[in-house]
Structure formats: C-alpha cells, structure tokens
Amino acid sequence: MFCSISFGQDKEDDTTKVDNQDLNKVLKTKKKKKKDTVVVVDSVTTKQIKAYDPLSPSRAAFYSAILPGLGQAYNRKYWKIPIVYAALGTGIYFYVDNNKQYNRVRDAYKRRLAGFEDDEFQNRLTDDGLISAQESLRRNKELSLLITIGIYALNIIDANVDAHLLQYNINDDLSLKPHYKIEEFDNQGRVGLTLNFQF
C-alpha cells in the first residue's frame, strides 16, 4: 500500500512517499479518541470536560444484562454490586423456599387423595386447609419470582441511568442551592433558594 503526501510551498512542490510504518503511525493517531477537552473560560480559568460517549449507557446496560452487577462495575460504582446480589439472592431464596413448601403441601394432599395417611399435616390441616395452603404458597412463589425479575430489570436500568448521569456536565455555571440566613434586622432565620447562572 502506497500513500503520497504533498506539501505546498512558495518555491516548489515536494511529494514524498510514506512507507507502511509511517502510514500505520498516522492511522493510529487518527483512531485515538480525545478523552478530555480543555475549555478556556477566561485568561485565568480553564476547565476540563470529558468527551461525551453516546454508547456508554447502552454498554453498561448490556453488561448488567449479561451478569448482574457488571454494569455497576463498568460505571465504577463498586459499592452497588453487593446490594444487587443481596437483593437478587433474597428474591431467589424466597422463591426456592415457597416452591419447597408448596411441593410439601401438594404431596401431602395427593397422598390423602390416594387414601394414604399423611403424617406431617394429619392433625393440623384438613383437606380444605391443604387446598388453601397450596393456593397461598403458589401465589407467594409467583410473587417472589416477579419481584426477582423486577430486581434484575432494576439492576439494568440503574446501570443505564448511572452511565447517563456520569456524563452529565455538572459545573458552577448553573447551580441551584438552598441557603439559610439570619436577618440582622429582626434576628429571625430565613430559608431561601439561590439560583446562579453564569454566561
């Protein structure tokens, strides 16, 4: 692969051939992303603004969908990972426990219908009580499954929103702050809200 670069000068045109190593260097420098942009506010103050990455929220949501907590790690919010796993683990625990209890009550009811004696629930529950317990435990099992799925979806939404908010430009040009001030005239406290907007 050959590439030619020409330079315009007053006296003569100079065309040079670039070998593959130089071409690769040029292409690599063009492919590099700008990570930070320096903005000059005035002659004294400069600000660094990070470049906006539009794919960052979708990337974080995708990582959280693959493995819960991975999107939070991508956003560098490591303290959220134990909360995600504790919430998911609690939902899964209640689903497994309700499923186990439901199977016990259902098996006891089936044994009674088959004519066998039930040692576990014989003195405590009647046939109608076993039917009612099955309905209640099945409802609890389905509810715990829905809550676990909701927590999983909330994990994905949290990673996406957090990635959006990390790129949000927060500076002192626009600020809204509450304040408390004691008036000198009547010596009473005043609560207010200060809005600052700088051009």
Q: pLDDT digits over 102-148, tens only?
A: 999 998 888 888 888 777 777 777 888 888 999 999 999 999 999 99
**Average of per-residue pLDDT values in the chain:** 78
pLDDT confidence of residue 54:
75
Q: Is residue 148 part of a domain?
A: yes
Question: Any idea which of 37-51, 52-66, 79-93, 172-186 has the lowest mean pLDDT?
Answer: 37-51
Phi, then psi, of 109 in degrees rounded to 5? -65, -40
User: 87 pLDDT exceeds 80?
Assistant: yes
Q: Is residue 82 part of a domain?
A: yes
Query: Domain tally for the chain?
Result: 1
Q: Is residue 111 part of a domain?
A: yes
Domain that holds residue 163: 54-169
Q: Is residue 189 part of a domain?
A: no
DSSP secondary structure of the chain: --EEEEE--SS--EEEEE-HHHHHHHHHHHHSPP-EEEEE-SSS-EEEEEPP-TTHHHHHHHHHHHSTTHHHHHTT-TTHHHHHHHHHHHHHHHHHHHHHHHHHHHHHHHHHHTT---TTTTTT--HHHHHHHHHHHHHHHHHHHHHHHHHHHHHHHHHHHHHHHHTS---TTEEEEEEEEE-TTT--EEEEEEEEE--
pLDDT confidence of residue 73:
94
Q: Is residue 114 part of a domain?
A: yes
With bands split at pLDDT 50, 70 and 90, how would you rate the model's confidence at 22?
low
User: 97 pLDDT exceeds 70?
Assistant: yes
Burial class, 11, CB count within 10 angstroms (exposed 0-12 / middle 13-18 / buried 19+): exposed
User: 42 pLDDT exceeds 60?
Assistant: no
